[in-house]
Chain A
Amino acid sequence: MTAILLEAKRMDAYYGPVQVLYGIDIEVVSGGITTLLGANGAGKTTTLRSLTGMTDTKGEIRFDGHSIAGHATEDIVRLGIAHVPQGRGTFVRETVEENLQIGAMTRRGGAQITADVERVYGYFPRLKERRRQQAGTLSGGEQQMLAVGRGLMLRPKLMLLDEPSFGLAPLLVQELFGILRTLNRDEGVSMLIVEQNAALALDLADHAYLIETGKLVMSGPSRELRDNETIRRSYLGY
């Protein structure tokens, strides 16, 4: 059974008077990993931001049975969407552990939250070593892990990940994507991943969309897109 967890229909998005997205139709299947590919400035980040109410949008957006179009970001997030933003959204002056606590702000129950902090440390042991450190002093890779960890603290049904590989060393990227795969497989967290590194994303995802200048131009199972001539030339580079 493949229930649809997130669905946007004919979604337009605007920054002030400027329209940047045109009639985007996107679906994320419950338990699946979907990726959104595209060049710089194609509208990938804007798509994610529109899904969590951070731009002016038109059209229909449904998540887990709720209509969320036009809702406030914090209300959308409370339904169980963890959006790990571009730039990682680190609270630089707060400690690593406080950053994780902030991620659990929508939840009650101190014992469970403490257990979840340990769970995140289990995935990212490096964060545990630095738990009392100001988060702004972490390396880029560590901050990316902290951002994913902060998202996990929400106990999300769906994670929106904006360029998780950005600025990371190749080994770290491998490690991070391995963890994302585990999270999806073992904990059933669905994901929508925006990536410039198309090879990496197609490897992880089971479904892919391609966006060009604000419009979706292609969609299908990752396998098919990987074998597609255009994608291969323009985005995979061989």
Chain B
Amino acid sequence: MELFVNQVLAGLATGAIYACMALAVVMIYQAIDSLNFAQGEMAMFSTFIAWQLLQWGMPYWAAFFFTVGISFVAGVLIERVVFKPVQKADILSHIVIFIALFAIINSGAGYIWDFNIKPFPSPFGTRELFGQRLISSHDAGMIGISILMLILLYLFFAYTRVGLAMRAAAANPESARLAGIRVGWMLALGWGMAAAIGAVAGMLIAPRVFLEPNMMLSILLYGFAGAVVGGLTSPLGAVIGGVSVGVVENLAGTFIPYVGRELKLTIALALIVAVLTVKPTGLFGRTVETRV
């Protein structure tokens, strides 16, 4: 029983990170209707920036928020410089650009910081909490920060004017323009926020998986799985999907013989296929009925 609870909690912790990546993917998907394959690499690069700042002697939380800020600006710039010129191009062009971004950022990080794995510190330490071997303090911190960030995002989108404008721009760009909303900037803002969310996810998961240019590859796949499970059109679904993927993956790896560590990633892909077969809109993907 203790092992079970233990694995569920560990699953929730990594699930929180998948949820963040899934959310970042969904935010960009809603804006431009395609999956950002470079989301993980952007997060990885952000984590390297944080690592560099820490190396230069910046305190952890200063480096943390500084990195989030830099990532936000970088996300906005990527949209303005790379995607704005091709906004009318078809989906294949977008995919090619995503793959290019993936390769450029990946090798760029390798070029600057080399491919050796590096330890990344946790601000929460790795003590065991509550005197039992239930959950480590870092896992608890991961869950806490993710929940805090999700609540802030929810409040932003539900209750601020900019949040409403961003929703309008994503839902119906033409009608949003007719309301005077600067749709292009709303998309850029979405990119910035997705990059910032990814940065947080990268910095939180790095102590677990260690820092190196390929560290986000599997994390992003789990994030995609979470997004697909929840439905690519539903931010809430993406979060729930991401968390579920984390828990399922952990439990399957522990309790199903043959799965173990090696086949864990397969679970994510199997989930994607299963969900797409049974319910292509995802568990929470909405199709609003409209009357005319």
A residues contacting B by CB (< 8 A) are 52, 54, 72-74, 77-78, 82-83, 85, 89-94, 98, 101-103, 105-106, 134, 136-140, 150, 154, 167
Contact = CB atoms under 8 A, between A and B. Distances in A.
Going nearest first, the 7 A-B pairs with the smallest beta carbon separation are A89-B175, A106-B180, A73-B177, A136-B288, A77-B180, A102-B168, A136-B290
A167 B72 CA distance: 45
Contacts of A134: 288
A82 B178 CA distance: 7
5 contacts: A91-B168, A94-B164, A94-B168, A94-B171, A102-B179
B17 to A, nearest CB: 28
B161 A101 contact: yes
B252 interface: no
B174 interface: yes
A134 B167 CA distance: 14
A72 B175 CA distance: 13
Contacts of A101: 161, 164
A52 B178 contact: yes
B288 A154 contact: no
A130 B268 CA distance: 42
A54 B179 contact: no
Nearest to A140: B292
Contacts of A103: 179
A94 B181 CA distance: 16
Contact of A140 (B165, B171, B286, B291): B291
Contacts of B172: 89-92
Interface of B: 161, 164-165, 167-168, 171-172, 174-183, 286, 288-292
B80 to A, nearest CB: 15
Given A93-B171, A140-B292, A105 B178 contact: no
A136 B289 contact: yes
Given A91-B168, A94-B171, 16 more contacts: A74-B180, A74-B181, A77-B180, A82-B178, A89-B172, A89-B175, A89-B178, A90-B175, A91-B171, A91-B172, A92-B172, A92-B290, A101-B161, A105-B164, A105-B168, A150-B179
A86 to B, nearest CB: 11
Nearest to B181: A105
Given A102-B176, A102-B179, A93 B165 contact: no
Contacts of A85: 174-175, 178
A105 B288 contact: no
A105 to B, nearest CB: 5
Given A101-B161, A102-B164, A136-B290, A92 B171 contact: yes
A184 to B, nearest CB: 20
Nearest to B162: A105
B165 A74 contact: no
Contacts of B175: 85, 89-91
Contacts of A102: 164-165, 168, 176, 179, 181
Contact of B179 (A77, A92, A138): A77
Contacts of B177: 54, 72-74, 77
Contacts of B176: 102
B177 to A, nearest CB: 4
A116 to B, nearest CB: 14
Nearest to A77: B180
B180 A167 contact: no
Contact of B178 (A83, A94, A137, A138): A83
A44 to B, nearest CB: 17
Contact of A73 (B161, B178, B291): B178
B230 to A, nearest CB: 16
A74 B173 CA distance: 11
